[in-house]
């Protein structure tokens, strides 16, 4: 088995794997499972610092993004799509799919969204039903400050939809402070459970927007209103993947009990960036660095696939390239959730030192030594 150091899916802790092996009941009929489902949803909300309701959906993280747009969008709705990354731009497809009119606010893909510039834009352009924001844009490792962006949008009467599938539980996130109306998360990133689940938190404003539509939601599976009163009625709209949910519950308990969670992510991310720079490699971004993934440009004369291939075959470590306009241009190191630990990151640094040297790149310094130095001195 490879050591998985990609920006999701990530390594799965033993407690999570064992929870998924529990004996299962009939999730549709057993009232005990309705209690368990609701308790896990409430635990997620607590860890996100909100009293907003959380719903767990059966499907990978993309389901939550599409469900958000399906449930919020009516034909003709103008939707502001904040775009400074591949996933940011991708929201426009979901908006269009459900009859909305996406308006892209496109900025520099190497820097986080500038809140003052966005404010200036909104003074002239504010007629939007909602806006989509990507907290962590995984292809580039971009982190946007949703704690400033979303309150600004709300001040103009714009509802907020946030993709934090790759951000939450590696970067601090306070839903109520950020005034997020609809937040999307996923099981396979910093949560450290297997792929297969997405979850959403819904504000009262978001629920009102869905329930007061003039037109029906053009989907069943992506319709978030079908969960209304599920606990009161003891009825799920479809059979829930009970083993996956057991695993998610165990993962959320680990997050709840990890008092060093955010400090560890921050320290490892900073050490990784310092090591990359000291070696002579170039970080892909100029600002907006996430604590869950570090992205560096592939050195000239070397192929990304050669780096990834040798890391796997010689060092038994799986890193990731990227896709879209970044395909073949960058390498991504995931340090999120269970993968955000010092021993595994030391192995990554040592492996990259050897791999890049083997491929003919002349480093200015050792990634491993710089990483160790930073971790020791901090």
Instruction: Work out the mean pLDDT of the chain and round it to a whole number.
Output: 97
Helix (H) or strand (E) holding 83: strand 78-83
CA distance 186 to 236: 20
CA distance 236 to 205: 23
Token pair belonging to 171: 């970067």
Residue 194 pLDDT: 97
Question: Which part of the chain is CATH 3.90.1150.10?
Answer: 261-377
CATH class name, domain 14-257 = alpha beta
Question: Could you tell me if 371 and 272 are in contact, meaning their C-beta atoms sit under 8 angstroms apart?
Answer: yes
Would you list the DSSP string of 204-270? HHHHHHHHT-SS--S-STT-GGGGTTHHHHT--SS---HHHHHHHHHHHHHHHH-TTHHHHHHHHHH
CA distance 21 to 16: 9
Pick the CATH number of 261-377 from 3.40.50.1820, 3.20.20.120, 3.30.1130.10, 3.90.1150.10: 3.90.1150.10
Residue 158 pLDDT: 98
CA distance 145 to 291: 13
Residue 378 pLDDT: 67
Average pLDDT over residues 344-356: 98
pLDDT band at 1 (very low <50, low <70, confident <90, very high): confident
- Terminal CA-to-CA distance of the chain, rounded, Å? 32
Ramachandran region of residue 86, left (φ > 0), alpha (ψ -120 to 50) or beta? alpha
Average pLDDT over residues 126-154: 98
- Asked if the model's pLDDT at residue 99 lies above 70, the reply is yes
Q: What is the pLDDT of residues 162-209, one digit of tens each?
A: 999 999 999 999 999 999 999 999 999 999 999 999 999 999 999 999
Q: What is the pLDDT of residues 253-305, one digit of tens each?
A: 999 999 999 999 999 999 999 999 999 999 999 999 999 999 999 999 999 99
β-sheet bridge partners, residue 142: 137, 289
Question: Which part of the chain is CATH 3.40.640.10?
Answer: 14-257
């Amino acid at each position: 088995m490879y050591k998985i150091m990609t920006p999701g899916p990530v390594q799965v802790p033993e407690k999570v794997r064992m929870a998924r092996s529990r004996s299962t009941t009939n999730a549709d009929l057993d009232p005990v499972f309705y209690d368990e489902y609701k308790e896990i949803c409430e635990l997620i909300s607590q860890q996100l610092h909100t009293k907003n309701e959380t719903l767990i959906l059966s499907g990978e993280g993309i389901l939550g993004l599409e469900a958000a747009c399906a449930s919020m969008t009516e034909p003709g709705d103008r939707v502001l799509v904040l775009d400074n990354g591949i996933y940011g731009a991708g929201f426009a497809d979901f908006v269009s799919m459900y009859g909305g009119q996406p308006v892209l606010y496109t900025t520099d893909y190497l820097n986080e969204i500038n809140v003052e510039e966005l404010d200036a834009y909104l003074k002239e352009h504010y007629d939007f039903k909602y806006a989509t924001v990507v907290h962590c844009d995984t292809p580039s490792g971009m982190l946007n400050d949703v704690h400033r962006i979303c309150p600004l949008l709300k001040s103009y009467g714009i509802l907020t939809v946030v993709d934090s599938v790759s951000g939450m539980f590696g970067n601090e996130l306070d839903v109520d402070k950020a005034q997020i109306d609809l937040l999307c998360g996923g099981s396979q990133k910093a949560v450290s459970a297997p792929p297969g689940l997405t979850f959403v938190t819904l504000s009262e404003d978001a629920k009102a927007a869905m329930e007061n539509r003039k037109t029906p939601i053009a989907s069943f599976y992506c319709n978030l209103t079908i969960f209304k009163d599920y606990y009161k009625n003891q009825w799920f709209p479809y059979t829930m993947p009970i083993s996956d949910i057991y695993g998610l519950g165990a993962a959320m308990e680990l997050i709840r009990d990890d008092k060093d969670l955010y400090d560890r992510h921050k320290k490892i991310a900073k050490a990784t960036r310092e090591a990359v720079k000291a070696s002579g490699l170039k970080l892909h971004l100029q600002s907006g660095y996430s604590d869950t993934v570090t992205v560096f440009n592939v050195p000239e004369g070397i192929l990304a696939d050669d780096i990834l291939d040798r890391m796997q075959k010689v060092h038994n470590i799986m890193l990731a390239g990227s896709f879209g306009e970044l395909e073949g241009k960058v390498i991504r190191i995931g340090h999120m959730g269970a993968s955000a630990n010092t021993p595994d990151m030391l192995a990554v640094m040592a492996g990259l030192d050897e791999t890049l040297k083997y491929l003919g790149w002349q480093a200015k310094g050792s990634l491993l030594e710089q990483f160790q130095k930073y971790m020791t001195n901090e």
